[in-house]
Structure 1
Amino acid sequence: MVKSAPPPTTGRKPSKVEGLKENSNFLREPVATQILEDTTHFTEDAVQILKFHGSYQQDNRDNRTKGQEKDYQFMLRTKNPGGLVPPQLYLALDKLADEYGNHTLRATTRQGFQMHGILKKNLKAAIATIVRNLGSTLGACGDINRNVMAPPAPFKNRAEYQYAWEYAQNIADLLSPQTGAYYEIWLDGEKAISAEESPEVKAARQSNGNGTIIHDTEEPLYGTYYMPRKFKVSVTVPGDNSIDLYSQDLTLVVLTDKKGQLEGFNIFAGGGLGRTHNKEETFARLADPIGYVAKEDVYSAVKAIVATQRDYGDRTDRRHARLKYLINDWGVDKFRAKVEEYFGKPIAPFKQLPEFKYHDFLGWHEQGDGNLFLGISIDNGRVKDEGSFQLKTALREIVEQFNLPIRLTPNQNLIFYEITPENKPAIQAILDRCNVVSDPTTIEPLVRYAMACPALPTCGLAITESERAIPGILERIRTLLDKVGLQNEHFVVRMTGCPNGCARPYMAELGFVGSAPESYQVWLGGSPNQTRLAQPYVEKLHDNDIESFLEPIFVYFRKSRKSGESFGDFCDRVGFDGIREFVAQYQPETTPVTIESEQPEAVSKSRKARYRVSLHDDLYNKVKATATSQGRSMTDLVKDALEAYFQSLS
């Protein structure tokens, strides 16, 4: 086996994972051996290599029993450049979720799907099924280029959106691992039929480009050691920040001439959100503008940036291994100069861009060629059937009957497109029968713009709840906003169960980051369009204290905001010192009513249990509508109604 190491940049010892990659025979071992063993799980060494194949070994913590083996299961993640899911692949995933998984699919924040609950004995069959149905999991995890993102909107009359899709796919192909390990292990060496690569991509992969290529190896771009850590790429168009471009290692912005012809790309690099609590050397960072390249040079530029990170990224400390740290340590000018060495010529100056805005593309839209597309909101990305809400059934029926392609969105939602106008009534009828909302104006705005990671019980990194907790927390935030006179207010809320930032909380106006069981670090001040980092306001807030924590901040916002100012922009403008000063002097405008349990006096002096009263959706909506029409808070309305009720009994 030919080994190809990056040039030595430090005298420090490489991390353990570097050795595992070196000895894996290009991602084959020990996965190839252990998949044949009759065991419930892989060894830790194999788990690190398994990630490159698109799977994480997990333990369902809800099912832990003392003295018993962990409840091992596997998460599979698909790689879908630009979020594309062909109808054949969707139906295969839907069936796999029931046959091998936990009966749900989960749309990710990188425009792929995840399946949870797969047993080791079924892993090979699941991956083989995905590949044979026009999908892949290769490179969805691991120290490698991850899924390449692009705006999901299928605007056929806007050339820049079509170019974004095209180049997202081409760059995904360019940076795809070339090892035969994936097909050897999961399909017994059978190379599945896939779309033909662009000739330009094939040529670019083999072009040396001043050291970008490592010769005489299975992996000409990655070599034996692959990347120091994960590498995230997106392609977007001017003004469209549906893909959170500032959070990516590398973002390309499509630039066209007045006739819609592609000219080239602006380049951003060095974004990333993962960090570690109490480790100040780890931090979230926005991508920097690097420059501009013509369309004929884009693949060489991408390879040059990848090679720079491959050869100079930190391979000794995995917490310091992302591209953002290399650019932060070097500075943009030194980084650009090194990229230009690989590129072979100067990178042109960055071209002016319009302000970036966030879009979610929900609801019915014209796609520009006479056909329609439909964006469907999926709460926290979880596709499931639950009670009368039959989302999984509805999506399956629509794909079966109309053979529609899907684009997953970076906000964990889904778009059907290529819908002929005559099919709209039938599709709408399926959605109505399954209680799936298609009109985004009827979705609670806090819910519409929120995101959460899966966290407990399956994610091994989770410190506390996220996906299971956020619905209740959003409901409590809405009730609090109603109480303080902000009935129609909404903003971007994101939550993660740990500081790795999978749901991108550091770009939110209000971010909750798991810091301890039932507790969160709170971040404030991101922008509604995700173009500015939030900042940490408190290190640990217990779930029970969310209302008392947020109330004075919301009141300050109501009293001191500028006309039309968003919550995130307000927090950024007044600053944390101003917020803390107001909070310190805050006196509640009304006495809050809490229901407390009767406890022994010794206990009640130190703590009283507080209870919240839940309402069915129909009653909650009636209370909310009445309070809004009367210009009152829901709390006051319910209090008056209860007082009147009890007076009628006396």
Structure 2
Amino acid sequence: MSNQIDWSTLSEVEKIKYDSNYLRGTLEESLKDPVTGSIAASDTQISKFHGIYQQHDRDIAHERKHQKLEPAFSFLIRVRLPGGIATADQWLQMDQLSETHANKTLKLTTRQAFQLHGVIKKDLKTTIKGINDALLDTIAACGDVNRNVMSHANPAESDLHAQVYQLAGDISRHLIPQTSAYHEIWLDKKLVSSSKEETEPLYGRQYLPRKFKIGVAIPPYNDVDVFSQDLGFIAIEENGKLAGYNIAAGGGMGSTFGIPETYPRLGDVIGFCKPDQAIDVAEKIVLIQKNNGDRQNRKQARLKYTIDRNGLDWFKKELFSALGYELQAPRPFKFTRNGDRYGWKQGTDGKWSLNLFVEGGRVKDLPGYPLKTALREVAKKVKDAQFILTGNQNLVIANTEKKQKVAEILKEHGVWPAPLSGLRQNSIACVALNTCGLAFAEAERYLPDLISKIEKILEKHDLLKNEIVIRMTGCPNGCGRPYLAEIGLIGKSPGNYNLYLGGSNNGTRLNALYKETLNEEQILAELKPIIADYASNKKSNEPFGDFVIRQNYVQEITQGRDFKH
């Protein structure tokens, strides 16, 4: 079969996947190689399917090169956690692993997953075993497969919320790779001898052309940014019951500077399905992408480009043919916001949940703000609590009868309650420097300081409480969904950012480039008069993103192909 494929026409990753023997590659040999802290180049692609990215510390790269040393290699490990829910014991295990095998921090991602950073090669296997000991895993957290399925943050809010969370888990299980390579390599499970050759029934030997993302949202809250997903399910409630889901297809945030053929795109709502049809719809859309996605150019390989290249009518025809039925017409819905709702909330079962802000999603102890220690104490002493990771990098200490105990621990450590501006509450930052190899500029380490300076402008105009969505990434790949922000900042070079304005506060509109390659002083100078104008001339309850479009600071973008860097 391999001899029938013209590999010269495909991206090099396609052959790596094909030759990997269902995601084994030479990972075992790479892990045992004591000469280097890295793994083989081809294995860096295969390891992603196992939830691992090879990185190095870019802060010290120049010094190490001068000393004729290889880069300070380490690994990011991402945990698959559909719907973002962990138990108190699982939180404690992740906390412990971060202390013993990583950089002593936990990263809460924008896909409701844990990340460990700074794991060195010799500790990879032990760390992944430790994650699995907590009944968690890392398979398919990265790579050219369906990744962590997102859902509304708290299933205990209603029966409908519980059904949506269940769907996220069911889809994740249905679309997970079937190879036994993960258990062989990381958990020492031996392949059971069989006369039948191993197969990957859904994905095949080459898996998908690129990553695939799925999210499930419940109006009026769009806290998973459902239109940024390759495939989005929008829960429709009728008469207090889950009627089914509107289907949105073709979202995606990634783009590349200097390549206008790449762009962020919002998913199109293409129809409505009943609850028992949702998994079938997900499978068939994944298969359409598998069979029709671009395997020559990885920058054109996401579902959004497959749809734009062939047309939405073609896509719907392919889907209806694969399903054997047509989707119903979409049902009415409305999103009001895509941020988290902070503070305490009581569920229908009488239990309490606290949505806690975590700046940049980084759980660590800071002088005067020992967040990691405080959450460890909550997990130890409030065993009935769940720890729910949100799509906005925050944390819900959820579904506990011990509201007072949680509050006491957090207040004791001085981490809650804390006054936060509406801007800071709605901020997202990707990791960027010093570990991400794609980053051109800072994001997580810098955005908090920049927000403090923007807050001074907001305070002058009595706008500190106004919710404004701000997001910063170190590159245009879109990991922090910056193209949906009312204020988006994307790293162009060290200390310089493109400024984008005009996204919506409910995740239903892309922003547009306002000014290029600005340093901090220039960013603040550009925002100052716009914020002043907003304070003086906004309509009652008018969101900032709507205002900048009405005032013609930027033009509204309705199609991804119209987006420009």
* Distance in 2 of aligned mates of 1:255 and 1:374: 26
Q: Is the 8 A contact 1:3 1:223 kept in 2?
A: no
Deviation at 1:490, TM superposition (A): 4.2
Deviation at 1:354, TM superposition (A): 2.8
* Distance in 2 of aligned mates of 1:485 and 1:414: 28
Q: Is the 8 A contact 1:456 1:464 kept in 2?
A: yes
Q: Is the 8 A contact 1:484 1:551 kept in 2?
A: no
* Distance in 2 of aligned mates of 1:249 and 1:28: 27
Q: Which of 462, 465, 477 is 2:439 aligned to? A: 462
Instruction: State the match for 1:426 in structure 2.
Output: 405
Cα deviations by residue, 1:457-484 (Å, 9 ceiling, x for unpaired):
0011110100111111001111123345
Q: Does 1:526 align with 2:503?
A: yes
Instruction: State the match for 1:639 in structure 2.
Output: none
Q: Which amino acid aligns with 1:85?
A: A
Change (3 A) 1:462 1:549: same
* Distance in 2 of aligned mates of 1:509 and 1:127: 38
Residue ranges of structure 2 left out of the alignment (5+ in a row): 557-565
Change (3 A) 1:98 1:47: same
Q: Is the 8 A contact 1:4 1:225 kept in 2?
A: no
Which has the higher mean CA deviation after the structures are superposed, 268-277 or 540-549?
540-549
* Distance in 1 of aligned mates of 2:55 and 2:555: 43
Q: Does 1:90 align with 2:82?
A: no
Q: Is the 8 A contact 1:160 1:255 kept in 2?
A: no
Deviation at 1:297, TM superposition (A): 2.1
Q: Is the 8 A contact 2:485 2:503 kept in 1?
A: yes
SS in 1 for 2:216: strand
TM-score of the superposed pair, with normalisation by structure 1: 0.81
Q: Is the 8 A contact 2:423 2:464 kept in 1?
A: no
Q: Does 1:164 align with 2:164?
A: yes
* Distance in 2 of aligned mates of 1:485 and 1:381: 27
Instruction: State the match for 2:115 in structure 1.
Output: 114
* Distance in 2 of aligned mates of 1:296 and 1:168: 13
* Distance in 2 of aligned mates of 1:34 and 1:483: 57
Instruction: State the match for 2:264 in structure 1.
Output: 284
TM-score of the superposed pair, with normalisation by structure 2: 0.93
Instruction: State the match for 1:563 in structure 2.
Output: 540
Q: Which amino acid aligns with 2:146?
A: N
Cα deviations by residue, 1:393-433 (Å, 9 ceiling, x for unpaired):
1111111112222110011111122211xx22222111011
Q: Which amino acid aligns with 1:34?
A: S
Q: Does 1:55 align with 2:36?
A: no
Instruction: State the match for 1:31 in structure 2.
Output: 27
Change (3 A) 1:575 1:217: farther
Deviation at 1:486, TM superposition (A): 4.3
Cα deviations by residue, 1:535-591 (Å, 9 ceiling, x for unpaired):
111221112322222222223323332232221111122223699xxxxxxxxxxxx
Cα deviations by residue, 1:310-343 (Å, 9 ceiling, x for unpaired):
0000000000000011112222111010111211
Q: Which of 415, 437, 441 is 2:416 aligned to? A: 437
SS in 2 for 1:189: coil
Q: Is the 8 A contact 2:110 2:390 kept in 1?
A: yes
Deviation at 1:501, TM superposition (A): 1.1
Instruction: State the match for 2:82 in structure 1.
Output: 81
Instruction: State the match for 2:376 in structure 1.
Output: 396
Q: Is the 8 A contact 2:499 2:523 kept in 1?
A: no
Q: Which amino acid aligns with 1:235?
A: V
* Distance in 2 of aligned mates of 1:387 and 1:4: 60
Q: Which amino acid aligns with 2:30?
A: Q
* Distance in 2 of aligned mates of 1:570 and 1:437: 33
Could you say which structure has the larger radius of gyration?
1
Q: Is the 8 A contact 1:526 1:572 kept in 2?
A: no
Q: Which amino acid aligns with 1:304?
A: K
Q: Is the 8 A contact 2:499 2:516 kept in 1?
A: yes
* Distance in 1 of aligned mates of 2:464 and 2:44: 48
Instruction: State the match for 2:132 in structure 1.
Output: 131
Q: Is the 8 A contact 1:381 1:413 kept in 2?
A: yes
Deviation at 1:359, TM superposition (A): 4.3
Change (3 A) 1:560 1:170: same
Q: Does 1:308 align with 2:305?
A: no
Q: Does 1:477 align with 2:454?
A: yes
Change (3 A) 1:15 1:560: same
Residue ranges of structure 1 left out of the alignment (5+ in a row): 192-214, 580-650
Q: Is the 8 A contact 1:524 1:534 kept in 2?
A: yes
Instruction: State the match for 1:607 in structure 2.
Output: none
